Amino acid sequence: MTQHHASYSPPRAMFTPDHELYRSSVARFIADRIQPAHAEWEDAGMVPRGLWREAGEAGLLLPSIADTYGGGGGDFLYSAIVVEEIARALVSGVTGFTTHSENVAPYLAEFGTPAQKQSFLPRMATGDVVGAIAMTEPGAGSDLKAIRSSAARVDGGYRLNGQKTFITNGYHADYVLTFAKTDPSRGAHGISLFWVDATSPGFSRGRLLDKVGQKAQDTAELFFDNVFVADDMLVGEANAAFGYAMSGLVRERLLIALRCATALEVALEWTLDHVKQRRAFDKTLIENQFIRFRLAEIKTHACATRAFVDSCLAQYLAGALTPDGAAMAKLWASEATRAIDDLMQFFGGYGYMREYPIARAYTDVRPNRIYGGSSEIMREVIARAL
C-alpha cells in the first residue's frame, strides 16, 4: 500500500517530498478507512455518506482549491495524487471524490460568483456538501450540444426541465452542476450552467444504476420537473457553458490518463507476483516463454504510458497542455488498459473471481475508455488538430 511507484518506473522528479508526504497520508486513509469495508459498500451500491466528511477531514477533498475557500491550497499535483492512490488501491467506490473535487469544484472556483465560492467551496472541502456534475442524458453523451434539458427564463430565475443519466455521486449529491439549454436556437452557444439544490421541489433521483463494475460508486438518473433555479445559482454567464466545459475537459482527460497509467502499473505488479509463484507443469508460469514475452510487452507499454502521461502532466503544470494533447493522453492511456484483459488471463479461473483485484480492475477500469469523452471522440479531437 505504501509503494509509490512500480519497480520499473523512473523517479517522478516533479513530486517534491511534501507531495510524497501527502501521498502517504492519502494512501493511509484509503488503507484504514476505505479498503476494509469496500466489498460491503459494493453490495450496497454506495459508500456511507459519513465517509465524505472523514475524507474532508483527512484532506482528500478539494486539495488544489485555494485555501481562501477552504481547499487544500496545493498545486495540481495534489489532485493527481488522490486520483492515482484511489486507482492504485482499486477503491473505485470513491472515484466520486475526484469528480466532486476536480470536475465540480473548479467550475465554481473559476466561473462562480464570490458569494457562490464563499458559500459552497468550504463546505465541499469538508464533505458537508457533495457535488455532482450533470451533462450526460439518455440521448446525449459525448455530444454536449445535443442535450435536451432546458431552462426557461422566469421572474427571478429559470425553470429547469429534463433528465440526466450516468451521474456520478447522483445519490449522495446535495447540489448538482447542471447543463441546460437556455437558448436552443444558438445550439452549443445557447447552453448555461446551474448549481441546483437537490432539495428543490421538482428534483428527483431515479434508481441506483446497476453497473458492470465500480459497484460502490453511487451512479444515478436525475430528473428535473419544472425546478426553479434562482438567478444567483447561475454559474458564470448565461449561454457560455459550452466553452466552460471545453476548458474543463483538458483537466478531466489528463486525470483519467493518470488514473489509467496507475491502474495498468498495479495490475502488472499483481500479475508478476502471481506468475512467479503459480506453478503449472512443474514450473512457474513466468517460465513459460509466451507468458514471459507478453508480460515484457505489457511492461514496455506501461512504461511508455507513464512517460507520455507524465510529460503531459508537466505540460499542464506549465499551462501548455492543449486540448488535443489531453485527448492524446486519455486515448493512449485508456486504450493501454486493454492489456489488463491479458493480465487477467494469466490468473486462470481465479482471475474471474471478484475477490481477486485483477477481476475488479478488469471491470472497474473499463469505463475510462468511455467517460470524459469516448476513445472515438478523442480520435476526432486529435484529428481536427492535425
Give the integer Cα–Cα distance in Å for 154 and 56: 37
Catalytic site residue from 85, 252, 265, 269: 252
By the 8 A CB rule, do 356 and 271 touch?
no
The pLDDT, as a whole number, for residue 257 is: 98
Name the residue among 364, 299, 384 with its Cα closest to residue 336. 299
Contacts of 76 (CB under 8 A, 6+ apart): 64, 251, 316, 317
Position 10 scores a pLDDT of 65
In this prediction, residue 4 carries a pLDDT of: 41
Query: What nine digits make up the cell of 141?
Result: 453523451
Report pLDDT digits (tens) over 124-182. 999 999 999 999 888 877 777 778 999 999 999 999 999 999 999 999 999 999 999 99
pLDDT score recorded for residue 122: 98
Strands 279-280 and 219-230: unpaired
What lies within 8 Å, CB to CB, of 331 at 6+ separation is 375, 378, 379, 382
The pLDDT tens digits for 328-377 are 999 999 999 999 999 999 999 999 898 899 999 999 999 999 989 999 99
Place of cell 479498503: 35
Q: What is the pLDDT of residues 83-119, one digit of tens each?
A: 999 999 999 999 999 999 999 999 999 999 999 999 9
Model confidence at 212: pLDDT above 90: no
Q: What pLDDT does residue 1 have?
A: 37
Residue 2 has pLDDT above 70, yes or no: no
CA distance 134 to 104: 10
The number of angstroms, rounded, from the C-alpha of 376 to the middle of its chain's C-alpha atoms is 19
- Residue-by-residue DSSP string for 261-328: HHHHHHHHHHHHHHHHH-EETTEEGGGSHHHHHHHHHHHHHHHHHHHHHHHHHHHHHTT---HHHHHH
What's the pLDDT score for residue 9? Answer: 59
Distance CA(144)–CA(140), nearest Å, equals: 6
Beta carbons of 167 and 234 less than 8 angstroms apart? no
- 304 phi and psi, to 5 degrees? -65, -40
Q: What integer is the mean pLDDT of 35-62?
A: 95
pLDDT value at position 5? 41
Give the max Cα distance, the chain.
Answer: 79
Question: In the predicted model, is pLDDT for residue 29 greater than 60?
Answer: yes
d(CA 95, CA 35): 13
Compute how many other C-beta atoms are within 10 angstroms of the C-beta atom of residue 219. Answer: 22
Q: Which residue has the higher pLDDT, 281 or 1?
A: 281
Let me know: does 194 contact 158? Beta carbons within 8 Å. Answer: yes
Torsion of CA 320, 325, 327, 332, to 10 degrees: -130
> What is the Cα–Cα distance from 265 to 274, expressed in whole angstroms?
14
Q: Is 252 a catalytic residue?
A: yes
Measured distance CA(161)–CA(137) in Å, rounded: 12
How many residues are given for the chain?
386
pLDDT at 7 over 60: no
- Report how far residue 315's alpha carbon sits from residue 205's, in angstroms, rounded to the nearest whole number: 39
Residue that is written with C-alpha cell 452549443 in the block: 188
Going along the chain from its start, the domains and CATH numbers come out as 17-129 (1.10.540.10), 132-239 (2.40.110.10), 243-384 (1.20.140.10)
pLDDT band at 282 (very low <50, low <70, confident <90, very high): confident
d(CA 95, CA 85): 10
Q: Is residue 212 within 8 Å of residue 363, measured between CB atoms?
A: yes
What average pLDDT does the structure give for the chain?
93
For the chain, give the percent of residues with pLDDT over 70.
97
